[in-house]
Amino acid sequence: MNYESTAKKILQRVGGKENVISLVHCMTRLRFTLKDESLVDDEAVKKTKGVMGVMKKAGQYQIIIGNDVANVYAELNKLGNFSNEASKKAPEKQEKQSVFSMLMDTISGIMAPVIPAIIGAAMIKVLLTLLPMIGVLSTEGNTYNLLSVMGDGAFFFMPVLIAMSASKKFGTNMYYAASIALIMLHPNFISLMSNANNAGETIKFLKFIPVTYANYSYSVIPIILAVWSLKYVERLVDKITPVVTKNFLKPMLVVLIEAPIALIILGPLGAICGNVLSTVVYTIHDKLGFIAIGLVAGVYPFVVMAGMHHAFTPIKLGMIASTGFENFICIGELCSNMAQGAASLAVAVKSKNKDFKQIAGSSAFSALFAGITEPALYGVTLRLKRPMLGACIGAAAGGLFGGFFQMKCFGIATPAIVTIVQYVEKGKPQSLLFAALTILLTVVVAFIATMIIGFEDVVDENDDELDMLETESKKEVKVMENAIDIASPAEGKVISLSEVADATFAQEILGKGAAIVPEKGVIYAPFDGKVDVMFETGHAVGLVGENGVELLVHIGIDTVNLEGKYFSPKKAAGDVVKKGDVLIEFDIEKIKEAGYDVTTPVIVSNTDQYAIVEKTATGEVTKESNLIKVQ
């Protein structure tokens, strides 16, 4: 995959850099928060080479890339320098969610960035099970003990990792958040609470306020609640502390106020919530028995599609921490992962499309051996629809089998063939056989079901061919008899787009045009038409002319970060304008003082509809000067 080319095309097809509020990535997906999703060309995004699928969820536009996601993300950051911090501005259009969905999405969104650290630690735990089994490592030696610490560290100090992730989600100070988590895990606090609990006593803060006993290591929900409240404590302290004392008084007050809230109220409340959630989930298991595992395995792909699978992590962690194993969700996950891999393998065998056979084959390998199913789910089974049914049938069959033989999971590594040892119970060698048979049954049933059900094969959508088609379509564009002259929307010095200090404009990703270094803080309508988009920050405007030209005028580079300061829009979206009308006024000097380049690109957004789009002006221009010729 050409990561640079893929990144450029993705950025262009999601509406350009200016349509992106923020961008993060998880293990397989790019997660865009966009200003306006209606600007996205969904079909073009899906057909981009390297893109396996698209998903819209809770205000995010998610593009599934697979194992190469980090490389594409790196190239996107070169083009846009996108922040992974909590967004200060919400997208214009947001999904309405129920309280339950909002809570699950919040937990899932916080857990997702932490998963790599959990997997790393879990895989060490897998080694600690595997190596002694084959006689390579003694459980009595120092090496085993050191590896045990390495494998357990991320789990014991889970609240610290969660605090860091939650601070980004809630937009609060990461170091305050981590400090609260460390207080909850301090050895002296743990010892104090444990001794009091064992003695049947209650610890009291300020002699009167009881501190409820709770164990916060391995926990998730208590620290999430604490960090959520932290943002309000920060705001309160910021308001009440004098400016001259903020550097020392504010930190002290934040910790002094938040720590008791976390230890006395929210920590215990979170522990109770976690216990209730676990009780509800495992009550279903107790009532339905192994049938419940089959049902979970069959529907688990849809839980992944909803982005809520990480929300189960706290439940699994809590169960393993309290009982030493988990025998419900982890078994369903294993069967679901194996079924997705098997269904993709069937597609790879049956498909006649060479490129798609490779995609399906690599997706199958990723799911079966690494437990990463997004490429298989979004790139193969869901995309072709019918293989999804085959995968669900295989997963349900495997779940019923594994549940019937009472499989247990003793770790939280990604469920896959290579991590099968985490399903081995000490003193019960037959547990390895049951795990292997569960995987085998799942794979065989899902493979056969997919082969029988069949699917409509993919028509080759190789991006190189798309590029060729685009090139051919451009060749077919006829030169217009009469050229259209577009006047300059600003007064100042004209430069070429290649001289703009921003790759998105300089490389003409959004289209061809010109740029102006303005000398007067006014943007004029360059033709008769209407305002298509007026950005709420006032730093850019999109126009559609009566002549059919679509024009983007972007005042400055990265000026969206000013959040509307120094910009004063005079028109709104939908307004009809005449050539010369004032669209935006802005303060050039204030923008420069804030450290921003005021160079203003003027882009013909529908460049591909014209044979010729070229800059015609040089030197100084006024609003009467012709800037661009379109023909």
Look at residue 307 and give its three-state secondary structure. Answer: coil
Q: What CA–CA distance (Å, rounded) separates 134 from 5?
A: 47
b/e per residue 402-426 (b: at least 16 CB within 10 A): bbebebbbbbbbbbbbebbbbbbbe
**Cα angle 538-533-73, degrees, rounded to a multiple of 5:** 85
Active-site residue, from 26, 330, 335, 392: 26
CB 587 within 8 A of CB 521: yes
Q: What is the DSSP string of 512-556?
A: EEEEEEESSSEEE-SSSEEEEEE-TTSSEEEEEETTS-EEEEE-S
Number of neighbouring beta carbons within 10 Å of residue 28:
24
Q: What is the DSSP string of 472-495?
A: HHHHHPPPPSS-EEEE-SS-EEEE
Residue 26: active-site member? yes
End-to-end CA distance of the chain: 35
Helix axes 221-240, 246-260, angle to 10 degrees: 140
* Best CA proximity match to 161, nearest among 177, 149, 147: 177
CA distances from 70 to 6, 25, 67, 168, 368 (A): 12, 7, 8, 19, 21
Helix (H) or strand (E) holding 467: helix 463-476
CA distances from 319 to 147, 251, 269, 427 (A): 23, 36, 18, 21
Look up residue 296 and give its two tokens. 């979970």
Give the contacts of 394 (CB within 8 A, at least 6 positions apart): 335, 338, 339, 342, 343, 442, 443, 444, 445, 446, 447, 449, 450
Query: Half-sphere exposure (CA, 13 Å, Cβ side) for 118?
Result: 25
CA distances from 557 to 537, 541, 592, 598, 602 (A): 13, 14, 11, 6, 12
Q: What CA–CA distance (Å, rounded) separates 255 from 398?
A: 50
Q: What CA–CA distance (Å, rounded) separates 553 from 61?
A: 25
Active-site annotation, residues: 26
